Structure 1
Amino acid sequence: MAEFNQGISSAKKEGGNEFRTILGVRFFSGSLKGAVDRMLHGGLLVVPSAPVLQLIETDLESRDALLSADFVIADSAYMVLVWRFLQWEKIPRISGLAYLDELLSRPEMKKPEDTVWVMARPKSAETNRAWLQTQGIDPPDSHIYLAPVYPPGPIQDPVLLEMLERLRPKHVIMTIGGGSQERLGLYLRRNLSFVPGIHCIGAAIAFLSGDQVKVPMWADKFYLGWLIRTMDNPKLYGPRYASSFALAKLMFRFRSMLPPIKAS
Structure 2
Amino acid sequence: MRRQKHLSLKISLGPYSAFIDRIIELAEVRQSSYVCVANVHMLIEAKNDKSFRKALIAADVVTPDGMPLAKALKLLYGIDQDRVAGMDLLPDLLAKAEKEALSVFFYGGSQAMLDKAVKYTEERYPQLNLAGAYSPPFRPLSEEEMKEVAHVITTSGAQIVFVVLGCPKQEKWMYQMKGKIPAVMIGIGGALPVLIGDQKRAPQWMQKYSLEWSYRLMQEPRRLFKRYLVTNSSYLVLLFGQKVKLMFLKKKG
TM-score calculated relative to the size of structure 2: 0.79
Does the 8 Å CA contact 2:108/2:135 hold for their aligned counterparts?
A: yes
Does the 8 Å CA contact 2:117/2:192 hold for their aligned counterparts?
A: yes
* Alignment correspondent of 2:237: 249
* Alignment correspondent of 1:119: 108
* Alignment correspondent of 1:190: 179
2:9 aligned residue (25, 36, 58): 25
2:197 aligned residue (199, 210, 220): 210
Does the 8 Å CA contact 1:109/1:115 hold for their aligned counterparts?
A: no
Does the 8 Å CA contact 1:118/1:145 hold for their aligned counterparts?
A: yes
Does the 8 Å CA contact 1:79/1:248 hold for their aligned counterparts?
A: no
**Alpha-carbon distance in structure 2 between the residues aligned to 1:148 and 1:69:** 25
1:102 aligned residue (92, 97, 106): 92
Structure 1 unmatched ranges of 5 or more: 1-10, 12-17, 258-264
Structure 2 unmatched ranges of 5 or more: 27-32, 247-253
Does the 8 Å CA contact 2:162/2:186 hold for their aligned counterparts?
A: yes
- Kindly indicate which of the two structures has a greater share of residues assigned to strand: 2
**Alpha-carbon distance in structure 1 between the residues aligned to 2:35 and 2:87:** 14
Does the 8 Å CA contact 1:110/1:136 hold for their aligned counterparts?
A: no
**Alpha-carbon distance in structure 2 between the residues aligned to 1:107 and 1:181:** 22
Q: Name the count of aligned residue pairs.
A: 236
Does the 8 Å CA contact 1:48/1:75 hold for their aligned counterparts?
A: yes
**Alpha-carbon distance in structure 2 between the residues aligned to 1:142 and 1:33:** 25
Report the Cα offset of residue 96 of structure 1.
0.9
Does the 8 Å CA contact 1:120/1:148 hold for their aligned counterparts?
A: no
In 2 relative to 1, CA 249–149 (structure 1 residues): closer, same or farther, beyond 3 Å?
Answer: farther
Report the Cα offset of residue 242 of structure 1.
1.3
In 2 relative to 1, CA 104–139 (structure 1 residues): closer, same or farther, beyond 3 Å?
Answer: closer
In 2 relative to 1, CA 169–243 (structure 1 residues): closer, same or farther, beyond 3 Å?
Answer: same
In 2 relative to 1, CA 54–161 (structure 1 residues): closer, same or farther, beyond 3 Å?
Answer: same
Report the Cα offset of residue 168 of structure 1.
3.1
* Alignment correspondent of 1:66: 56
In 2 relative to 1, CA 205–55 (structure 1 residues): closer, same or farther, beyond 3 Å?
Answer: same
The amino acid that maps onto 1:164 is I
Farther off after superposition, 215-224 or 205-214: 215-224
Report the Cα offset of residue 67 of structure 1.
0.3
Instruction: Give the RMSD, CA atoms, in angstroms.
Output: 3.1
**Alpha-carbon distance in structure 2 between the residues aligned to 1:220 and 1:138:** 31
* Alignment correspondent of 2:226: 239
**Alpha-carbon distance in structure 1 between the residues aligned to 2:149 and 2:21:** 26
In 2 relative to 1, CA 21–115 (structure 1 residues): closer, same or farther, beyond 3 Å?
Answer: same
The amino acid that maps onto 1:128 is A
Report the Cα offset of residue 248 of structure 1.
2.8
Does the 8 Å CA contact 2:109/2:136 hold for their aligned counterparts?
A: yes
| Percent identity (aligned) | 20
Does the 8 Å CA contact 2:163/2:189 hold for their aligned counterparts?
A: yes
**Alpha-carbon distance in structure 1 between the residues aligned to 2:47 and 2:146:** 25
Farther off after superposition, 209-218 or 135-144: 135-144
Report the Cα offset of residue 214 of structure 1.
3.9
In 2 relative to 1, CA 182–137 (structure 1 residues): closer, same or farther, beyond 3 Å?
Answer: farther
Q: Looking at both structures, which has the greater relative contact order when contacts are Cα pairs under 8 Å and sequence separation is at least 6?
A: 1
SS of 1:190's partner is coil
Per-residue CA deviation, residues 158-193 of structure 1 (Å, 9 max, x unaligned), is 23112123223111111221111111111111333x
Report the Cα offset of residue 19 of structure 1.
2.7
**Alpha-carbon distance in structure 1 between the residues aligned to 2:128 and 2:148:** 19
* Alignment correspondent of 1:178: 167
The amino acid that maps onto 2:184 is G
2:152 aligned residue (163, 168, 174): 163
Would you identify which runs of 4 or more consecutive aligned residues in structure 1 move more than 6 Å?
138-142
TM-score calculated relative to the size of structure 1: 0.76
